[in-house]
Amino acid sequence: MNIVDHLSVGVSDIDKACEFYNGLMTILGCALLAKTDGFAAYGNGAPQFLAMLPGDGDHYSAGNGTHIALVAKDKETVDAAHRFALQAGGKDNGAPGAREAYPKPDVYTGFVIDPFGNKLEFIHNGFAA
């Protein structure tokens, strides 16, 4: 049993978030499953990742030290997701490559910061593998 039901990132604009996440999630094998004025939910069969306006109506913020690792089926998917994220307004936070320091062998990841400041990792052969 997974211990995580879903993850959410804060955003300031749902339509702008969809411009970034719709393409990115397609590369990762997920789809937009639901969209309201307050959130966009992505997943593969069930919502697992949400881009949301803060529920309290206050300004969103990205968590310092927080990042979300999204599973990629292979190294090419890591590369494609990283490339797409940069083209769609994200910032590089670590080019795709092997990560020798990870506690599991043969891990391949890439890191970006989305247009809202949220830290994302695309990971192949991570803990979920």
pLDDT digits (tens, 9 = 90+) for 46-60: 999 999 998 888 888
Single-letter code of the amino acid located at 95: A
Mean of pLDDT over the chain: 93
Cβ proximity of 112 and 90 under 8 Å? yes
pLDDT tier at 1, thresholds 50, 70, 90:
low
d(CA 62, CA 72): 23
For the chain, the structural domain boundaries read 7-53+67-124
pLDDT digits (tens, 9 = 90+) for 66-100: 899 999 999 999 999 999 999 999 999 999 999 98
7-53+67-124 classified as CATH 3.10.180.10: yes
Q: Which of 96, 101, 103, 97 is nearest to 127 (CA)?
A: 103
Q: Which of 32, 101, 19, 118 is nearest to 67 (CA)?
A: 118
Torsion of the alpha carbons at 38, 44, 49 and 55, rounded to the nearest 10: 30
